[in-house]
Amino acid sequence: MVVDDPSGADSESTIERRAVDAELGPSTFIYRTDDGRILTFNEAFDELTPQMAEGLEGLPPEDRAMDGGDVQEFIFESGVYLSLVVEGQIVTQYTDGRTRWTNDQLREQVFPTSDHGDLGFEDWRAAQVDAGTLTAVDVLQYVGTEDEDEDADEETVIHERLIID
């Protein structure tokens, strides 16, 4: 994916490295809002907790406690967000400070038009990274099916976030 902002200034498109482990592996849920934003469970929890707390007003303090299970159940039962089952994976992409490319995009779009002499793609890419012309960046990709059909055959990258330190 070519992206115009490789710096990840938009918090929606970034994730801190310390939070990545919780997002990796099979059967992770992400949530799509009505306005198209993608939220992790923690982000959905933070957004929904005040809304859910209003519904608990007037109850004794011991009954006002909410946990992750309560929020997950609320999401599923209310349909407030579309729940998508995804697998989180880390991939390396490359940026020149303006554009970010996957390895395949770099090979197909940039390498053929660059001055690479006798170098093959891998050697050229390594030389570009060593020279600082390109920077390797880690990206967390959420891979799954776009719709609610769990039997759909084709998985795709639904969302990705630049991993920041």
Q: Model pTM?
A: 0.74
Within-domain flag for 5: no
- Cα 47 from Cα 35, distance rounded (Å): 14
Within-domain flag for 2: no
165, 17 contact by CB (below 8 A) = yes
Q: Tell me the pLDDT band of 138, cut-offs 50, 70 and 90.
A: very high
Within-domain flag for 66: yes
- Cα 28 from Cα 110, distance rounded (Å): 34
For 14-35, b/e burial (b = at least 16 CB within 10 A) is bbeeeeeeebeeeebbbbbeee
Evaluate the CA torsion angle 70, 73, 79, 82 in order and state its sign. Answer: positive
Give the range of the structural domain holding residue 63, as residue numbers without chain letter. Answer: 11-164
Least confident of 16-20, 60-64, 73-77: 60-64
Within-domain flag for 115: yes
**Residue corresponding to tokens 């007037």:** 58
Within-domain flag for 4: no
pLDDT, one tens digit per residue, over 87-134 is: 999 999 999 999 999 999 999 999 999 988 899 999 999 999 999 999
To which H or E segment does residue 114 belong?
none
Residues 81-89: what's their mean pLDDT? 90
pLDDT beyond 90 at 141: yes
Residue 99, strand partner residues:
none
- So what's the pLDDT on residue 145? 85
Q: Tell me the pLDDT band of 56, cut-offs 50, 70 and 90.
A: low
Instruction: Output 39 or 52, whichever has higher pLDDT.
Output: 39
Both tokens of residue 67?
A: 């946990």
**100: helix, strand or coil:** strand
Helix axes 41-55, 68-78, angle to 10 degrees: 80
pLDDT beyond 60 at 84: yes
